[in-house]
A and B are shown apart, each in its own frame.
Chain A
């Protein structure tokens, strides 16, 4: 679809100019003009008081006969025989979508001698497993996986293809999409099936999470999405459940794979800086109360941060007390941060601290003192002893 101005109807009121989320509309000779930044989101169509903006369907290249495409496929990510969590989540979500469409759920697995995983995939709900078993597929490489899976898509024609939005999925997905000549929506947080036409509606955040967009792939197949890890629910495992195993042909010739994984280096620990961290667990003066040492406190915060793949930080009070290095300090005289979630633990919430973190996506405050100012800015507050609350949160996270 494209958005067009009906010039006779436009009164030059500039409402569309003000409302356009992409700053794509300008006024030329007192008539609205759609510029190159337009994404055809349709906001202007809805806001125009004079019905002067319309959506028109345009013919697009690379369209296919979509009636030939069936079933929901999930790409299974595995390393040394261990399934990625996100793949299980996709099996759960894929099953839900397949039920709504009224089709089968299939998984695509590449590896070498990964037969044990095949059974596990059936037990997590797949009706079919397409399995490519070859020594060249032991480690993920863009070239090998793209070629093998593209050939399978070409042959078996899935209508939906889901991948985890991981460093592997976000590498493989774009390459497959180009080979298939189809669209790919990145980092989806919600997938729905239109009850009328059974098409996939993919919702994702854009503009650093300031805007959500729902995206369709109306005329190309498969409809491809990468899905953010941790968003969908894992299905229940049914021990002993089996399905149909389809072995894929692997035709890799010399020259097909132009990269080689020489080594894998495991690295755990803090490689994220405070300003990049999505999750920050920050501690303050409260860590040293109730007979506990601040070392115990920061060790506990570290556990929570590690569990959430976040980092530890501190308030000025904790830094001034010499409990932790200044580089960890959040606030006016420290670092200003904007993580997705900020845990303020045993931090009262002095103005100078608030100014460094109040634009965080979600603020969780844990403090014994119910009158602490931190609760004023918190999205979720827990009044209680952090040494009891944090272990329970860890427990609840599983």
Chain B
């Protein structure tokens, strides 16, 4: 089986803090990590590789040159090759443009049976690039996959997570599946894996390598545009609610609703 994994290097948003005075992000010392859902996607691929001898796992990512550290990690975990799509032309891409670039990279990689991606990346939380890449490749996709039940000739049967349960879906291959963390527990790197990954070559492709014109990538191919970005309004000091029990309860629910947190 030929398996491809889409991965992204992201800042660990759990470690991101806000400067209380300036209201900006404090990035100093925030580590870059393999996006958590992508770790589950990779594990799903490696698990299939273990079960179907002769399978290969290729990891593809779009990002700045530093993303090669994350790709080395995927090699240390057991991926066979890693490709980094990196070029100035790819910069400023929204999900629409990112999926064009990743699809072009996958086309260059050639035939595949299953593409795994994480459900979403923790820096943007959009959950769009996976299904959009499938649309561009003209293959079916299933998102929120929580279990792979059966690999058949020409199809796979998976469980797709919903808010109130799950669906059992049979999808034709080749296909793209986006993975949630319930799918599996990612393995650890082996010492041998780390040694090999340290020496391995990371293939880097730019827009010419994947047969894209500069106007098909990055900012120029992005329909969305950021008008402004800002720190969310500060929480302010805590408040002891007053009134009767009913009034306090109503006021609490109103305040939480106002913040869109319940």
Given A178-B136, A380-B239: A208 and B226 within 8 A (CB)? no
A288 to B214, CA, bound (A): 67
Partner of A40, one of B11, B92, B170, B235: B92
Tell whether, in the assembled complex, residue A379 and residue B235 are in contact, meaning their CB atoms are under 8 Å apart.
yes
Beyond A167-B144, A209-B232, A396-B254, 11 extra complex contacts between A and B, CB < 8 Å: A19-B22, A41-B229, A174-B132, A174-B135, A206-B124, A210-B25, A228-B260, A265-B166, A340-B261, A341-B261, A389-B249
Whether B165 sits at the interface, judged by CB under 8 Å, is: yes
Given A178-B132, A178-B136, A338-B14: A58 and B64 within 8 A (CB)? no
**What DSSP secondary structure best describes chain A's contact surface?**
mixed
Whether B74 sits at the interface, judged by CB under 8 Å, is: no
The 19 sampled A-B contact pairs (Cβ below 8 Å) are A36-B90, A38-B219, A43-B229, A168-B162, A170-B128, A177-B95, A177-B132, A178-B99, A185-B224, A208-B123, A211-B232, A214-B228, A258-B172, A259-B172, A262-B168, A265-B166, A363-B238, A364-B256, A393-B249
Q: Which residues of B contact A205 (CB under 8 A)?
A: 125, 232
Tell whether, in the assembled complex, residue B166 and residue A267 are in contact, meaning their CB atoms are under 8 Å apart.
yes
Given A262-B157, A341-B261: A384 and B248 within 8 A (CB)? yes
Q: Which residues of B contact A214 (CB under 8 A)?
A: 226-230
Whether B51 sits at the interface, judged by CB under 8 Å, is: no
Tell whether, in the assembled complex, residue B13 and residue A207 are in contact, meaning their CB atoms are under 8 Å apart.
yes
Given A178-B136, A268-B164, A381-B238: A40 and B219 within 8 A (CB)? yes
Tell whether, in the assembled complex, residue B249 and residue A377 are in contact, meaning their CB atoms are under 8 Å apart.
no
Tell whether, in the assembled complex, residue B162 and residue A215 are in contact, meaning their CB atoms are under 8 Å apart.
no
Whether A378 sits at the interface, judged by CB under 8 Å, is: yes
**Interface contact tally, CB-CB below 8 A:** 290
Q: Which residues of A contact B171 (CB under 8 A)?
A: 258-260
Q: Which residue of B lies closest to A276 (CB)?
A: B181
Partner of A178, one of B87, B135, B229, B250: B135
A381 to B115, CA, bound (A): 49
Q: Which residues of A contact B18 (CB under 8 A)?
A: 210
Whether B88 sits at the interface, judged by CB under 8 Å, is: yes
A205 to B229, CA, bound (A): 9
A residues adjacent to B (C-beta < 8 A): 1-2, 19, 21, 23, 35-43, 58-62, 139, 142-143, 146, 166-168, 170-171, 173-175, 177-179, 181-187, 189, 201, 205-220, 228, 230-231, 258-268, 271, 276, 279, 308, 338, 340-341, 361-364, 370, 375-385, 388-389, 392-393, 395-397
Tell whether, in the assembled complex, residue A167 and residue B163 are in contact, meaning their CB atoms are under 8 Å apart.
yes
A143 to B169, CA, bound (A): 13
Given A167-B161, A265-B165: A207 and B135 within 8 A (CB)? no
Given A218-B225, A380-B255: A206 and B125 within 8 A (CB)? yes
Tell whether, in the assembled complex, residue B164 and residue A375 are in contact, meaning their CB atoms are under 8 Å apart.
no
